[in-house]
Every structure is written in structure tokens, then in C-alpha cells.
């Protein structure tokens, strides 16, 4: 098992980010914003979005705000561990937002204090500059984006627990061992659950004639 390229890059960026290198932070977030945004979209269903009057991009920004504040306590080992960490923050941010909306108030003070904590941490850089806006990234190959949104629509048809397994394995990149530790199950059990979920996804894809639509096969 070799050290993967992406892992060493991620570690370097996080280390530099912790030392206050704003450039490293913006690169780090620019790099993962697509993937994190995708996780947000898969978790923030349309009704929830309407109820919270929030867009996926808001959750993403909120997530990165929290991430920057907590980064100093985070020791990454692999890219997957970082993505998984971000993904847990996404989950918390969404839960917080639901709580706020139940309490009938939107707290903006917390956001402000976060802004300040960042200004302190990264010296001169202003937080909003660190987080790029949705859709401005030049990195998206149009074709792949199409495939992704088709796959995402299929994922949304799965049960939440099935979807989470696929998110952890395919988007965060966790190993079965890591997933097993997280879920408190045996590795073999997690592998079986994942396979079953993925088989279901394949069945959905076949029903929707996905491979023909994408020009595979």
C-alpha cells in the first residue's frame, strides 16, 4: 500500500493552512468545494431546502467557516479522512440549521464571530475571499458534470442509510475498515451493506438506461 499522491498534497495544504497560509486554505477549499457541495446536495433534500430557506451554497460556506475554525485540532492522515471530517461538519451544520429554524430564529451572530476568528487566524485574508462562489470554478468538464448529476438523482432515490454508505465510500473515499469503525459494525457486514446498496443503485441506473444515455456500452 503506497502513500497516495492526493493524500500527501492534502496533508501539505492542511499543514500550511494551519500555519496561517491563506493561499493554502483557499486552494484546499477550492479543491474540495465541488465534492463537499455534492455531499451537501445529497443530504439537503428539496423540501428541507425550502423550509430552511437555504441554498446548498450557504451550507457549504457555513461548513468551511466551521472547518477553518476547527482546523487547528484536526490531524489528517488521508484525503478521505479530511473529506469525512468535512462531511461530518456538513451534517452538523444542517442539523444546527434545522434546530435554528425550529427555534424560530436565524442566528447571525455566530457567523460574525467566525468571520473574526478567521481574520485573526489567517492574518489579512478575508474569509469571503477564501470561498469561491458557486459555478465560477473553471474546473468542471461539462460532460462529467452531466454524469454526476444523473448519478446524484439516482442516489436521491435510495434510502438515506444506503445513500450515506455510498457517500462515505465513493465520495469521501473511506475504506471499509474506517466505515466499520464509524458504524460500529464488522468490516464484512459493512462491505455487504455497501454492496447491497450499490446493487440497488445499479438496478436504478439500468431502469433509467443510464449507460446508454451516457454513451457507455
Decide: 103 and 201 in contact? Cβ < 8 Å: no
Q: How far apart are CB 138 and other proteins at their closest, in Å?
A: 6
Return the residue of 170, 183, 187, 193 that touches other proteins, per CB under 8 A. Answer: 170
Q: Going residue by residue from 3 to 42, which x/- string records binding to other proteins, judged by CB under 8 A? A: xxxxxxx--xx---------x---x--xx--xx-------
SS3 28: helix
Each residue 185-204 as x (binds other proteins by CB under 8 A) or -, in order, gives: ---------xx--xx-xx--
Decide if residue 206 touches other proteins (CB under 8 A): yes
Q: Which residues of 150-186 are buried (b: 16+ CB within 10 A; e: fewer)?
A: ebeebbeebeeebbbbbbbbebbbbebebbbeeeeee
Q: How far is the CB of 65 from other proteins (least distance, A)?
A: 19
Using the contact rule CB under 8 A, the part of the chain among 48-56, 58-66, 118-126, 132-140 near other proteins is: 132-140
| CA atoms of 40 and 37, how far apart (whole Å) | 5
Amino acid at each position: 500500500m503506497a502513500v497516495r499522491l492526493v493524500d500527501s498534497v492534502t496533508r501539505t495544504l492542511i499543514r500550511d493552512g494551519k500555519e496561517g497560509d491563506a493561499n493554502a486554505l483557499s486552494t484546499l477549499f477550492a479543491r474540495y468545494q465541488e465534492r463537499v457541495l455534492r455531499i451537501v446536495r445529497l443530504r439537503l433534500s428539496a423540501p428541507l431546502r425550502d423550509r430552511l430557506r437555504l441554498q446548498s451554497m450557504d451550507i457549504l460556506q457555513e461548513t468551511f467557516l466551521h472547518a477553518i475554525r476547527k482546523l487547528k485540532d484536526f490531524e489528517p492522515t488521508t484525503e478521505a479522512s479530511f473529506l469525512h471530517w468535512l462531511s461530518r461538519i456538513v451534517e452538523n451544520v444542517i442539523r444546527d440549521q434545522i434546530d435554528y429554524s425550529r427555534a424560530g430564529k436565524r442566528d447571525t451572530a455566530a457567523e460574525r464571530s467566525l468571520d473574526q476568528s478567521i481574520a485573526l487566524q489567517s492574518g489579512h485574508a478575508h474569509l469571503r475571499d477564501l470561498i469561491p462562489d458557486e459555478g465560477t470554478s473553471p474546473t468542471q468538464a461539462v460532460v462529467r458534470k452531466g454524469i454526476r448529476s444523473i448519478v446524484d438523482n439516482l442516489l436521491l432515490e435510495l434510502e438515506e442509510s444506503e445513500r450515506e454508505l455510498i457517500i462515505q465510500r465513493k465520495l469521501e473515499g473511506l475504506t471499509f475498515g474506517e466505515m466499520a469503525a464509524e458504524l460500529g459494525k464488522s468490516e464484512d457486514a459493512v462491505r455487504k451493506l455497501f454492496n447491497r446498496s450499490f446493487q440497488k443503485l445499479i438496478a436504478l441506473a439500468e431502469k433509467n438506461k443510464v449507460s446508454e444515455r451516457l454513451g457507455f456500452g
